């Protein structure tokens, strides 16, 4: 490997980390002050934004220790056979970089991942050393998220959890067959085994902390994972079922989705096109439905298209579910229980809580509900209010067409 400056390494290893969605920063405009006007930049190399467990948006230095890897996962730009410029930080370099960025107030923490150098244990040792040195040598109090390697010795995972706020292990693909085909050196059983191990450690340390104040914390922000969408043939039903089983079995805090994006010099087994980004968005909406709205994976599967097994792209999955379950509607905004109100398309958790508060004092009219939602049109067929009853609206054959956003004319040249 040629001698590279720290800046050159940062360029390569921050860019290589951008494929990891589990601390994603997206949706903002590119701005900087390099022309001498204004102050600040949204393009800090290697800096991304993530949400801390308390809901704050924090800036993280997001880098790989190295983009060299002994594995050859087809979908990964860092795979062994990929023709990319390689770089590698030492553990000490990552520590110094983190501290320098932190002292300048650029970041509030570190997100560290890595290709596999020599062996899973050796790589994990290096990553743990970064976190150890930050915490023990420098009393670093910022946020640390370590992407852990499922094949590494469980003792190393245990050490990682003592230093990091959050640990994550990428499940990568929703099915074992997809994993065998696209990441033949990975093993679904071992990945889930490592997640199960982390869950056990997290639970044990929570128990210990309840009994003894001095017991150490273990990954207090829990564990998360990431699944690639659209690199294999798995449909949304398979993805949602996998996510739901991971939440249940390993108490994950989050499942992140990353729409497969074609990489330079791709392997022949990969699709040529990326899936629509809207597919990733719909999966995130389904994730919210499971975590906050009380749906289970089977119910969300009922919102998918029978032929493709995927969620519709033109309407959100909650509306799709409601259209397929019209017998459950309309619900009375003045009498229905919280669970039923949460299923009304267009009503979010906050709106439902405010409805429950307000109706203690008076009967709510449609206008009262309209003030709590952005789309009263979407909601009207599904709700009864003091002055509103959707006579026959819910049974209309063209209800879906009336509620879906108008189709857009496609541009021939995009
Ligand atoms: S192990 Fe990770 S870094 Fe290595 S090729 Fe597979 S996905 Fe890429």
Q: Would the CB of 84 count as within 6 Å of ligand 1?
A: no
For residue 289, pLDDT over 70 is answered with: yes
From the number of C-beta atoms within 10 Å of its C-beta (0-12, 13-18, 19+), residue 31 rates as exposed
Per residue in 80-139, pLDDT (tens digit) is 999 999 999 999 999 999 999 999 988 999 999 999 999 999 999 999 999 999 999 999
Query: Which among 16, 115, 191 is the best mutation to test ligand 1's pocket, defined by most ligand atoms within 8 Å of the CB?
Result: 115
* Cα–Cα distance, 373 to 368 (Å, whole number): 10
Reported confidence tier of residue 394, pLDDT bands at 50, 70, 90: confident
- Cα of 106 to ligand 1 centre, how many Å? 28
Question: How far apart are alpha carbons 342 and 382 in whole angstroms?
Answer: 11
Half-sphere exposure of 71 (CA within 13 A, CB side): 24
**Token pair in block for residue 341:** 């109100």
User: In this predicted structure, what is the pLDDT of residue 193?
Assistant: 96
37 confidence band (pLDDT: 50, 70, 90): low
pTM of the predicted model as reported, rounded to 2 decimal places: 0.86
Q: Whose CA is nearest to atom 1 of ligand 1?
A: 71
Gap from CA of 119 to ligand 1 centroid (Å):
12
Q: Tokens 């930050």 label which residue?
A: 134
Instruction: Identify the structural domains of the chain with CATH numbers, from first to last.
Output: 6-24+43-274 (3.20.20.70), 317-403 (no CATH)
* Beta carbons of 57 and 50 less than 8 angstroms apart: yes
Q: How far is the CA of 116 from the centre of ligand 1 (A)?
A: 7
The alpha carbon of 79 and the centre of ligand 1 are apart by a number of angstroms equal to: 6
* Residue 174 contacts residue 239 (beta carbons within 8 Å): yes
Bond prior to 220 in cis (omega within 30° of 0): no
Instruction: State which of 15, 21, 71 you would mutate to test the pocket of ligand 1, scoring each by most atoms of that ligand within 8 A of its C-beta.
Output: 71
Q: What is the mean pLDDT of the chain?
A: 89
State whether the beta carbon of 13 lies less than 6 angstroms from ligand 1: no
């Amino acid at each position: 490997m040629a001698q590279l400056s720290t800046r050159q390494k940062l360029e390569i290893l921050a860019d290589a980390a951008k494929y990891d969605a589990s601390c994603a920063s997206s949706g903002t405009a590119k701005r900087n002050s390099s022309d001498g006007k204004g102050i600040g930049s949204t393009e800090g190399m290697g800096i991304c934004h993530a949400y801390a467990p308390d809901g704050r948006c924090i800036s993280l230095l997001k880098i790989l220790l190295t983009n060299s890897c002994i594995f050859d996962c087809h979908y990964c730009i860092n795979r062994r056979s990929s023709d990319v410029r390689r770089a590698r930080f030492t553990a000490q370099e990552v520590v110094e970089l983190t501290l320098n960025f932190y002292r300048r107030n650029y970041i509030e923490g570190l997100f560290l991942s890595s290709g596999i150098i020599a062996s899973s244990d050796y790589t994990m040792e290096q990553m743990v050393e970064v976190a150890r040195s930050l915490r023990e040598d420098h009393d670093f109090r910022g946020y640390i998220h370590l992407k852990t390697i499922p094949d590494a010795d469980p003792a190393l995972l245990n050490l990682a959890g003592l230093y990091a706020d959050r640990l994550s292990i990428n499940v990568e693909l929703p099915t074992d067959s997809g994993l065998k085909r696209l990441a033949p050196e990975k093993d679904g059983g071992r990945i889930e085994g490592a997640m199960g191990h982390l869950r056990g450690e997290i639970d044990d340390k929570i128990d210990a902390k309840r009994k003894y104040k001095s017991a150490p914390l273990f990954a207090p922000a829990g564990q998360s994972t990431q699944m690639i969408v659209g690199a294999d043939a798995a449909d949304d039903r398979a993805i949602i079922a996998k996510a739901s089983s991971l939440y249940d079995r390993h108490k994950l805090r989050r499942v992140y989705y990353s729409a497969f994006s074609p990489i330079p010099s791709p392997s022949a087994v990969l699709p040529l096109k990326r899936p629509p980004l809207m597919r990733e968005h719909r999966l995130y909406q389904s994730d919210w439905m499971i975590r906050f709205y009380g749906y289970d994976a089977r119910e969300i599967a009922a919102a998918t298209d029978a032929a493709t097994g995927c969620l519709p792209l033109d309407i959100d999955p909650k509306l799709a579910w409601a259209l397929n379950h019209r017998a459950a509607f309309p619900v009375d905004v003045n009498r229905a229980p919280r669970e039923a109100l949460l299923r009304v398309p267009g009503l979010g958790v906050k709106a439902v809580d405010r409805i429950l508060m307000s109706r203690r004092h008076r009967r709510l009219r449609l206008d009262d509900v309209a003030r709590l939602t952005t789309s009263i049109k979407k909601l009207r067929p599904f709700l009864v209010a003091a002055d509103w009853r959707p006579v026959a609206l819910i049974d209309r054959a063209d209800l879906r067409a009336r509620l879906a956003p108008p189709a857009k004319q496609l541009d021939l040249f995009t």
